[in-house]
């Protein structure tokens, strides 16, 4: 199971990023645990300056804007 965190204040882009992660995982048949992190102090621990941020198994894979679908699939499969 992949542990995924979507970091951001809860804006539309952050929700879209979460939706993209969930859809990509579903398409790939992956089991994920997803958590939305809105606390700025918690986001700072990951060094995220621009949101949304995506963390997979403790590693920051993306920050700022929406990820490309191909990149997202690659990160989830790694």
d(CA 46, CA 74): 21
Neighbouring C-beta atoms of residue 10, cutoff 10 Å: 13
Contacts of 72 (CB under 8 A, 6+ apart): 20, 21, 24, 54, 62
What local confidence, expressed as pLDDT, does residue 37 receive? 97
List of the chain residues with pLDDT < 50: none
What local confidence, expressed as pLDDT, does residue 49 receive? 85
What local confidence, expressed as pLDDT, does residue 72 receive? 96
d(CA 42, CA 71): 24
Look at phi and psi of residue 50 and say left if phi exceeds 0, alpha if psi is from -120 to 50, else beta: beta
Q: Which domains does the chain have, with CATH numbers?
A: 2-77 (3.40.30.10)
pTM of the model: 0.94
């Amino acid at each position: 199971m992949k542990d995924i965190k979507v970091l951001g204040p809860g804006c539309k882009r952050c929700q879209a990023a979460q939706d993209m992660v969930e859809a990509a995982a579903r398409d790939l048949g992956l089991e994920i645990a997803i958590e939305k992190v809105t606390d700025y102090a918690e986001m700072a621990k990951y060094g995220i300056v621009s949101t949304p941020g995506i963390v997979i198994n403790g590693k920051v894979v993306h920050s700022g804007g929406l990820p490309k679908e191909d990149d997202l699939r690659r990160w989830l499969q790694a």
